[in-house]
Structure formats: structure tokens, C-alpha cells
Structure 1
Amino acid sequence: MDIDAYAAAHRDQWDRLDRLTSRRRLTGAEADELVTLYRATAGHFSRIRTGAPDPALLAELSTLVAAARGRITGTREARISDVRRFWLASVPAALYRLRWWTVAVTAAEVVIAVVVGVWTLRSPEAMAALGSQSELDTYAQESFEAYYSNFAAGEFAGYVWTNNARIAALCVAGGITGVLPAYMLFANAVSIGQAGAIMADHHLLGQFFALITPHGLLELTCVFVAGGAGLKLFWTLLAPGGRSRGAALAAEGRSLITVAAGLTAALAVSGFIEAFVTPAPLPWPLKGLIGALALAVFWAYTLLPGRRAVLAGHTGDLEADEAGAVQVEVG
């Protein structure tokens, strides 16, 4: 294909499409012309992309086609009802559908952490592999507690939030592999077990639980939800049910994005608790109560509005007009 000749032959159509797209108001005839030119230009774009890719021209046509498509289909404005539906139906429904996956992951994490902790505590070789005696002493007596107060509370809250949100997003997004969420969950359980073993070896197990309970109850639950979401996506790949594998993965993937958005909000709460409550000079029972209340609110949000939303037909997936056209499946 002679790209220069092809572009010269159709330049008038592209310019006309650009002018129509930029106009504030169109007559009926101009609207029909806009649609016709959009279809023709989309065809030109496809042909150039496959026949003679030219980066500059492709970028120009891509922008032109996208703008024309937006003018034809219009833009969907966010409404208060959409925000309300998202937080009161979509997010709790998506979390509710993951409740048994979350429970299973939580149980597995607790078992692995306890087994690793007990084994490390009873095995001198395993304990020695974690560091020298002086390093372990410093970790137990200074570093573990200092971690929560080394930085300004606001800065620390932001760091914790973004780091945990990244881990949750990786678990969800990497779920299609099956390996990534399983590995991250296993590594998380091992890390907790080893930290507990070090603290217990220094007779500081009470301090260990006192420091991780306020924020850890909600934070770890969010990680378990994310891990369960990732594993559920992998299970959908293996057993899509009555839908085609592609359709099942698309629907499940969209609902898990909803889960990730909900977890981001919950992790913001746990980050706030970790930065402002955990290191605060408050009685430990009060700190533990704050953590337990945060976890109770999360589960109440998951189970109560979640159950109602699921019974009403919500799954956490996009609405039909938002998800776009879906190929009809038979059988």
C-alpha cells in the first residue's frame, strides 16, 4: 500500500469528519453524514493498521475515530444513583459472593502461620536462618514496635495504604495464573508465622498480638479477600460452568475489579488505624476493640447489604448498558 497516496485520497473525508465531530450542534443530515464518515474512517484506520502501519497516521486516525465514536454514542455522566448503587449493591454483592473463598483462605492462612511459627520456634536451625542472635534481639526488642512510629502518621498511613492496595490488586489481577495469589498468600502466612516465632522466643508474643491486632484484623482480611478473589478467577478459568470460558472470565473479571475498588476503601481504613491507633498511647484493650469493630463493620457490610444485593440479582459485574454488547451463547 502506498500510504501517502491512500492518505491523500481520503484526507477530505477525515477532515470533514473532524469538523463534524467538533461542531456543537448538528442537523439531521449532518448527523447521518457523521455516522457514515465514522464507519468509513474506522475502515480506513483498520486497513492502514494492518497493511502499512504508520505511527503518526495511526495516532491521528485513532484520535479521530475515538472522538467521532464519543460524539455518536454520547458520554455517560456519573449520577448519584450510580454511586449509590456501586457502594450499596455492586461492592457488597461482589464481596458476598466471595465470602466462602475468604473464609477458606483465612483458615488456610491461620494454619500455615501457626505451623510455620511453631516449627520455627522449636527448630534452632530455622530460627538461625532468620538472622544472627543480635539481629533477632534487635528485631524483637526494637524494630518490630518501632516500625509503627518511625514515620509521621500521615505519611505512614499513605505508605501502608498504597502498599497494601498494591498487594491486593496484584492478587486479584494475577488470579488468572493461579500461582501468583497462592504464592503471595503463602509468603504472607510464612512471614507472619516467623515474626510471631521471633517475638515468642523473646517472650514478647503478647506484644506481637497487641501491635498487629488493631489494624491487622481488617488489613489481613482484605488480603485474604483479594487472595480468594484471585483464586476464584483461576477456578473460573478451569470450570466456567454453563458459559463459555471467555464470557465467564470476562464477567468474573469485571466483578473482581469491583472487589478491588471496595478493598481499596477498606485498606484506607486499616491504614489509618495502623498509623494513628496502633502507635498511640492508648490501652491495648481499647486498640484491640477498635480493630475488632472495624472488622465487624466490614463483615456486616459484606453479609447484610451483600445478601440483599445478590438476592436482587446483583453480582458486582457492570450493568448491561455499561458492559457493552455480549455475544449470545446457545446451549
Structure 2
Amino acid sequence: MKAEKLIAERGAAWEHLEKIVDRAIKSGPKAVDSGDLNEAIHLYREISADLAVLRTSQADPKLIDRINRLLSRAHGVLYRGQGPKKEWSLLQFYRVTFPRLFRQTWKCTLASFLCSALFYCMAYQVVQDRPDIAADILGGMDSEFKGHKEAGDIQDRFRAISSPVLSSAVTTNNIKVALNAFALGITFGIGTIYILIFNGTMLGGIAGAFAHSGIEGVFWATVLPHGALELSAIVVAGGAGLVMGFALWCPGRRTRIRALREDAIKAVQIALGLIPAFIVAGFMEGFITPSEVIPQSVKVAVGVALALGFWAHLFIGGLDRSESADAASVKVASFS
């Protein structure tokens, strides 16, 4: 491979490793989380191979020297104890690693949201225009909700079940749905898309059935306390599944097996990061939604606030100075 082609294809990877190493040296061990550390180790091995290619292709000696110095600094950080060490604490993972992984793969989460939202809107409109086929879309579930005119009418169904039992059942079910959305990414993302379409269609169909009856507000007043966070987490889980699916469809210069192995590590960590969100959503649905003491407006406000806090953490959690700078401006690789 000619040096010019290697520079064009690998320059971004060289610069990325340099950023991680610089952050580790300047800010200390805590500036680099376990996800970045694993990525740095992988980049170190790849760039070592790049250096060998540069040497055999008679590249610019200054470039060879620069890459050599980069690898020397990276080696000091990764293998000689001069830099960050692995931090596997749960606090570090949820505070830093999880939100950073989300930001690295946010486009897949956006695709997950758009897929769910599209079929939500379609099902909602179809049920509005053709209420007679609501049963076909919802599988007969529409009949379960007929006659509910107040939020309390639906909540009576929740109160009929012990709160701890309901909370446990809901949490388990939500984790199962998210796990399916994530794990089915292995089917080139097709299974993940099916789960997202199904959930979006069911939610849109139910909301449309309530709206056709003139009580859509009742539906959302009941769903939002727990559903705002729950649905957010399912969308992110779907995004994690699409990360794997995209790796299989578009592996780039990597083999599909290698692309899947590397991106699945990120996807698994994102899926694990969602567990607390599902536990909180299950608690809300088991204890808060059916409560007769807490005003409905307070329930909705708490549910929406939890969802907003969840998204805020994903977008700004673990943000460091170098990442903030990257968000403000895009630097052009200087390896030339």
C-alpha cells in the first residue's frame, strides 16, 4: 500500500489515539474510561502495523518518526503504568463510559427513534381513519380499554396487582423487550427493526383508539409516569441493536466478523447501561402509577423529568474538555 493511501485511510485513527494519549497524560488516569482504554489498546496494535507499512513503503521520515513517537507514548500509557488503569467500577461505567458510548453511536439511536415514531404515527392515523380495523392492529387489545373514561379507570387494573409483583413483572418484561431489540441486531438489524416496528405500531394503535374515543389525555396521563423513561430506554436499546446490524452491513475495511466483534462490545455495554432505567420505570409503574395518594399531574411531571434527566445524562454525562472541543469544531487530521 502506498504511503499516501495509508495516510488518507488511517490518519483519523492516528489522530484519535493521539487524543486519548494526550488526555491521559494531561489529565491523569481518571480522564480515560475503560471504553476509551480498550479502544486505545486496539488502535495501538493497528497503528503498529501501519508503522511497519510506512517503513517498507519508504514514506516521509518525519511521518515515520511522528508515528513512532506516538506509539512510544501510547505504550507508556497502556503498558507501563504511566497512564490510566482500567476502572471497572459501576459508578465510573454509568457516569462516564455509558454516556460516551451512546454519543459514539447516537446515529443508530436516532434511526431507532425514527423507525418507532414512523410506525407509531402510521398506526395512530390508521386507527383514526379506520377505527373498525383497530382490533386487527391491536390483536383485540382495543376491547380491553373500552369504557375507560378516567385515568383512574385504567389505574384500577394496576391496583388489582400487588405493587412489588407488578413492578418486578414490568421490569422483567421491559428488559426482555430491550434485550430482544438489542440481541436481534445480529440478524443484520432486521430483527431489531421488527421489534421497533411492533412496539411503535402497538403504541400508536392504542393511542389512536383512545383518541378516537375522545380520551387520549387519559391514555397519556396513565402512560407518561412510567412510559416516558421506559420508551426512551427501549429506543436506545434498539439503537444498540442497530449498531451491530450496521457493522454487519457496512464493515468498512474490516471483515464482518471483526466488525461485529468490535462493535458488539459497545452495543453490549450500552444495553447493560439501560438496566437502571428499566428498574426505575418498573418501580414507577408498580408503585407510582397506581397510587391514589399522588396527584396525576405530579406523576406525569415526575415521569417526564426522569426521561429528560436520562437524555441529559446521555448527551452530557462524562463530557471532558477534549470532547467539548470536538463538539464545537471539527479538526482536520494533520498527518500529511
TM-score normalised over the length of structure 2 = 0.63
Tell me which amino acid in the other structure corresponds to 1:244. Answer: T
Deviation of the 1:93 alpha carbon: 1.8
What is the identity, as a one-letter code, of the residue corresponding to 2:249? L
Aligned pairs, number: 234
CA shift, 1:163, in A, is 0.8
Q: CA deviation at 1:287?
A: 1.3
Q: What residue number does 1:304 align with? A: 316
SS at match of 2:269: helix
Equivalent runs, 1:1-331 vs 2, <5 Å: 81-83=87-89, 84-127=91-134, 129=136, 131=140, 137=146, 144-177=154-187, 178-281=189-292, 282-308=294-320, 311=323
**1:96–1:307 Cα contact (<8 Å) kept:** no
| Bigger shift: residues 179-188 or 148-157 | 148-157
1:240 aligned counterpart, secondary structure: coil
What amino acid is the match of 1:170? N
Deviation, 1:139, is 6.8
Across the aligned residues of Structure 1 and Structure 2, the Cα RMSD in angstroms comes to 2.8
Deviation at 1:131, TM superposition (A): 4.2
SS at match of 1:167: helix
Distance (whole Å) between structure 1 residues aligned to residue 312 and residue 250 of structure 2: 30
- Give 1:192 deviation, angstroms: 0.7
Which residue identity does 2:124 align to in structure 1? G
Residues 138, 259 of structure 1: alpha-carbon distance in 2 compared, 3 angstrom cutoff = same
CA–CA distance in structure 1, aligned partners of residues 144 and 280 of structure 2: 32
Q: Secondary structure at the match of 2:274?
A: helix
Q: Note the residue ranges of structure 1 that are not aligned, 5 or more in a row.
A: 1-78, 313-331
- Paired with 1:202 and 1:157, the residues of 2 have a C-alpha distance of 29
Work out the CA distance in 2 between the residues paired with 1:310 and 1:116: 43
1:82 is paired with a residue whose SS is coil
Q: CA separation in 1, counterparts of 2:175 and 2:272?
A: 9
Once the two structures are superposed, residues 238-268 of structure 1 have per-residue CA deviations (whole angstroms, 9 ceiling, x without a partner) of 1112333222211111121111111111111
Counterpart AA for 1:286: V
Structure 1: how far apart are the matches of 2:141 and 2:231? Answer: 29
CA distance in 1, matches of 2:142, 2:224: 27
Residue 164 (structure 1) shift: 0.6
Check 1:277–1:90 CA distance in 2 against 1; reply closer, same or farther (3 A cut).
same
Distance 1:280 1:125, change over 3 A: same
Kept in 2, the 8 Å contact 1:93–1:309? The answer is no
Structure 1 stretch 209-218 or stretch 124-133: which is displaced more? 124-133
3-state DSSP of counterpart to 2:161: coil
Shift of 1:214: 1.1
Give the letter for the 2:98 counterpart. V
Cα contact 1:90–1:309 (8 A) shared by 2:
no
Q: How big is the shift at 1:107?
A: 3.1
Tell me the distance in 1 between the aligned counterparts of 2:295 and 2:245. Answer: 43
Question: Over residues 89-146 of structure 1, what are the superposed CA-to-partner deviations in whole Å (9 max), with x where a residue is unaligned?
Answer: 3222222223232233223322321221121122143135454996552577798444
132-141 or 172-181, which moves further after superposition?
132-141
Structure 2 unmatched ranges of 5 or more? 1-84, 325-336
Whether the aligned pair in 2 keeps the contact of 1:181 and 1:227 (CA below 8 Å) is yes
Separation (CA, whole Å) in 2 of partners of 1:82 and 1:253: 18
Find the structure with the greater CA-based Rg.
1
> How far apart, in 1, do the equivalents of 2:236 and 2:127 lie?
27
Question: Within 2, Cα distance between the matches of 1:133 and 1:156?
Answer: 22
Q: CA deviation at 1:161?
A: 0.7
Report the alpha carbon displacement of residue 148 of structure 1 after superposing the two structures with TM: 2.6
Q: Aligned partners of 1:133, 1:158: CA distance in 2, in Å?
A: 25
Amino acid at match of 1:250: R
CA distance in 2, matches of 1:127, 1:273: 28
Provide the secondary structure at the position in 2 that maps to 1:243.
Answer: coil
Q: 2: distance between equivalents of 1:215 and 1:134?
A: 23
Rounded Cα–Cα distance in structure 1 between residues aligned with 2:313 and 2:132 = 45
Change beyond 3 A, Cα 1:308–1:143: same
Give the 3-state SS of the residue equivalent to 2:290 in structure 1: coil
With the length of structure 1 as denominator, give the TM-score of the two structures.
0.64
Q: Contact (CA 8 Å) 1:214, 1:273: kept in 2 or not?
A: yes
1:308–1:233 Cα change, 3 Å: farther
Q: Contact conserved, 1:216 with 1:291, CA < 8 A, in 2?
A: yes
